[in-house]
Amino acid sequence: MDVPVSPARQKKRRLRRWLLGSAMVVVLALVTLGLSQLQPAAPLVERSSLWLDTVKRGEMLRQVRGNGTLVPEDIRWLPTVNAGRVERILVLPGERVKTDTVLVELSNPSLEQDVFEAESQLKAAQADLTNLKVQLGSQKLTQQAAVATAEANYTTAKSEFDVNDELGKSGLVAALAVKQSKARAEQLAKLLAIEGERLNMSDESTRAQLAAQDEKIAQLQAQIDQKRRHFAALKICAGMDGVLQRLGDAANPLQVGQQLAAGALVARVANPAKLKATIKVAETQARDVQLDQIAEIDTRNGKIPGHVIRIDPAVENGTVTVDVALDGAMPKGARPDLSVDGTIQLERLENVLYVGRPVQGQPDSKVGLFKLVDGGKIAVRVPVNLGRSSVSTIEIVAGLQVGDQVILSDMSQWDTHDRVRLE
């Protein structure tokens, strides 16, 4: 049968249960608090997939790099002078040419007609000049005859006056007759002077008319010379010794039968013996590029030393064009438009702290880099101040010491972690 439990015993049981429950609650709270204080496990990264480097101190060579092409220093673009139709293509790209080598022949019937008309006008003007000379010569002879007649009449009248004057002194001739002969002689003297003046004026008129006709002929000759040059320009010549690089443009190669407008590009001729490199440098790096800095051009078949000779003041598509003169011998295969890589030496930094350039490291910036600790098993993120940069190295201003190993690879996928494990 059931044994009755005393009230005191029941009270002890309830107290024991309450203490046990309270203890369990406290233990659970402590476990929860402890777990909340634990850091999440560091992710595991394969060491072989990382790019590591060690911080060093010493001389750091600052360089910038860009890609570009070899271009001739002497280039001649050959446009059309007048519109024309392509009749013949005599030279193909890649062939060597001389200054007077005819590359392309064009046709333009209107130019030929212009030359014919100009020649006809010139011949007519020359015929007019000949006729004018004959007319002016005849006029001069007529005037000379008039002068001679006036001179003869004056001489006769002067002789009569002299005779009458002597006879008048002796009373043999009336005084009236003397006066009349004197008046006639004076009148014929004035007429002689007038005719002489006309002769002189006719000489000046002759010179003026001949000069005007000569000027007209000279103008026509200049016009015909110009038209002949335009007609001769239908034969496109190289204009320099070199190699024909292109006929037409890249988008529209020249073809027989093609109609070209005045000023259209026909060909490009260059001297392949003298080349330079045109390099595209990022605008953020081009600020330190200066004239005469040492450069090296890699043609992928050899490297050529050079120096900077021009820096384009304009920025195009985020790059600055830099021209490099080539100081060494050309390797085999070097030719215009060949793709090359260029490296320009900016300066040498003495006794600086530097490391390989991180993937996301920009000059004069602050970044977080993973530094190896615990024998290289763990990498922790540390803030690092970067300074001046080069092609493959960058200056360390603060945050690292000599001998520190850091991860240079892209670690953006671990941005939420400050430490990783390496295996």
Structure tokens belonging to residue 377:
């098993």
Average pLDDT, integer, range 410-415 = 86
Cβ–Cβ under 8 Å, residues 232 and 147: no
Query: Mean pLDDT lowest for which of 40-44, 147-151, 214-218?
Result: 40-44
Residue 51 to residue 359: CA distance in whole angstroms: 10
Quote the crossing angle between the two packed helices 175-232 and 109-169, to the nearest 10°: 170
Structure tokens belonging to residue 36:
């909340």
Average pLDDT, integer, range 18-42 = 64
Residue 164 to residue 171: CA distance in whole angstroms: 10
Cβ–Cβ under 8 Å, residues 379 and 419: yes
Q: What is the pLDDT of residue 38?
A: 45
The SS3 assignment for 348 reads strand
411-415-417-421 Cα dihedral, nearest 10 degrees: -10
Please give the mean pLDDT across all residues of the chain.
84
Q: What is the pLDDT of residue 10?
A: 63
Using CA atoms, how far residue 87 sits from 73, 101, 154, 174, 235, in Å, is: 31, 16, 77, 98, 10
What one-letter code names the amino acid at 335? R
In percent, the amount of the chain with pLDDT more than 90 equals 26
Residue 200 to residue 171: CA distance in whole angstroms: 43
Q: Residue 344: which of 288, 394, 302 has the closest Cα?
A: 288
The model's pLDDT over 45-74, given as tens digits with 9 standing for 90+, comes to 888 888 899 999 999 998 889 999 998 888
Average pLDDT, integer, range 83-101 = 91
Kindly report the number of other CB atoms within 10 A of residue 49's CB atom. 7
The DSSP bridge partners found for residue 76 are 269
- CB-based contacts of 412, cutoff 8 Å, min separation 6: 360
Domain 41-73+274-423 grouped into CATH 2.60.40.1190: no
Residue 214 to residue 217: CA distance in whole angstroms: 5
Q: Residue 101: which of 237, 236, 231, 232 has the closest Cα?
A: 237
Q: Residue 238: which of 206, 271, 216 has the closest Cα?
A: 271
Kindly report the number of other CB atoms within 10 A of residue 416's CB atom. 7
Q: What is the pLDDT of residue 1?
A: 44
Radius of gyration of the chain (CA): 53
Q: What is the pLDDT of residue 272?
A: 82
Residue 85 to residue 181: CA distance in whole angstroms: 85
Average pLDDT, integer, range 390-400 = 90
Structure tokens belonging to residue 362:
């920009």
Cβ–Cβ under 8 Å, residues 92 and 245: no
Residue 272 to residue 115: CA distance in whole angstroms: 38
Q: Give the CATH architecture of domain 74-108+234-270.
A: Beta Barrel (2.40)
